[in-house]
Structure 1
Amino acid sequence: MIPATGMAGLMFNPPSSSSPAPSGETADTVTDALFPLKNIYHQGFIARLLDRTGNSLPMRFCAYDHMGRIHAYIEAKEGEEFSVQIIDSLNARCTYSAALFLGLQFVSSQLSYPGGGGGALTIKDRPISETVAQTLMFSKPAVTDDEANSIRNPAEVAGLGMISIIVRKVLQTYPCVQLYPQDVLGPQKAVYERTKQLGAVQISAGPTINKPRTEQVGCIYDDTFPPTEFVFHCTTRIGLQLNGIIPVETAPTAKQKRTREEEELDAEEQRLQKELENLKKRRRVIAGDTDNAENARPDENAIRVKREKRAFDFSTGGTRENPLTAAFLNV
């Protein structure tokens, strides 16, 4: 069941669980990881992943496998919402449908008619009722220490971040009743803690949004038209580096590191030199104030003479009542 105006349907078989990642043995590389693409082209259709602002997420290492599917690696960020867009590069030559799977879990499908919107459609959520849908978001895989009830296969852990889009040609549509999913979006089990992979992500439900009601239809497909399948392997930047998709960021060379350290030391030295000059200025000001204060009061180093009283000698003349005699005055 597929919406005539762009909501979800339930009429697709899931992709193969053995969908291989790109490799030099089973696929022909069509792009280099050093030159990321904004979209990929396959059998007349263009596919790309968009962030919540509508910008394309860069793709790395696009390749075909032996089953004719095209694979690409995507750098995902935990907590980031995303959507998938499919474009008929031949300008809507026919009615076609696109179904979105996260791992082996069906999410949503949409229908595009010739001449409608230039042959482009975007899947950005999973309807859970007539008017409510869940947005799609990258998240960190849940981890558990329960070995018996957990995901332990490393391939299954890597598959948590796998997104598949299957495009099929539609011959005819008919009205049908819409069914809504009851399961949780994303893996039904947590990852065993000893099996967790650095850089792994899973797709889970983001915030819910309100959507208008739409007419649901079923499809009769053209079996002569081979399905077109796009597979995106989503992981963090660290995961891309560990898988050899992009080069590991090397540490700065000793010369570069020493140069930066020297610049930091020079800046610190200039700061300290400026502080030292300010201290010297303050010392000169304080010293000047001290000199002025010392000049304004008696010298503390001067010898103080103690004055003692002693009896006056009147042997040469004079008396206590009249100490000055004529002879003394004539001297």
Structure 2
Amino acid sequence: MNFSFLFDNFVALTVTALVLGAVYALVALGYTLVYGVLRLINFAHSEVWMWGSFAAVWTMVAVGGGKDHSVGTTIALVVLALAAAMVASGLVALLVERVAYRRLRRMNAPPLVALISAIGASFVLGEIMGLRDRIAGWFGLADNLQAYVGKARDNASFPNPVNTVPLFDVGGYSVRNMDIIVIVGALVMMIALDQFIRRSRLGRGIRAVSMDQEAAALMGVNKDRVVQITFLLGGMMAGGAALLYVMKFGATRWNAGFILGVKAFTAAVLGGIGNVRGALLGGFVLGLAENYGSALIGSQWKDVVAFLLLVVILLFRPTGLLGESLGRSRA
């Protein structure tokens, strides 16, 4: 156990853990929302996030992103990339609901069938992105779209319009503006979603369906509409997480969603799957556990620490840290 490394780098490990945990939390929202309403695990959600990350990258490539812009232009570029990522992820999430779930749901198919369908959708979405150069070639567009489809299996770099600069030092670690942007941005989106679900009419509809679908239908709640809104909201949060991720880490790739999606699902379970606030808590707890654990026993054990934590939580508190479903959340 390398306790000296942990103590010497405690602030740096904590800040970077909170940054990564914020991304986990936003992606975890998609899992927790869908489970809260349908009691299904949407394993295609990781690819929903991945498509949002590419939407952000392609938007910046199209408008000539990069650094050395005025403050106003930089803000406009970030907002544009955020809108593109959220719209793309939201639309892909709706497509997944339409193709992979809707017919099965109306047929009252067993949850296992829906799970298999979601896994299939995940592979299809990932491979479409990984083979986008060949797909463009079929239509004779490979040369015209080279900036977007070239080297489809390699990393796609994000032309970040924000210059990364240190803001202040804490415990020997220079906290950068990008760290603050990611953490604050994730918190703002989480709070906005939480308040939407608790206070808006559509949010009350989501909670009603999650509690009792038949009773909600008798009260005039349109279940199909609620399910679509749930997928849309989860996709939009994944799009926001995608932008924050590429701004912090600088690149994405066609299979980037796999590991991150599994981690986000772990965060959702840790916090209490079906609980919006639990997703936030689970994301931060997972990020901290990963960083502290890798500091103690080595970075190669980072993933092991995350899933060991999940096993421990499930053994001693199967409902997660908060353990309150979306439907029973207090208004």
TM-score range, shorter chain: under 0.3
Larger Rg: 1 or 2? 1
Q: TM-score scaled by structure 2? A: 0.21
The TM-score, its normalising length taken from structure 1, stands at: 0.21
More helix by share: 2
Q: Which has the higher strand share?
A: 1
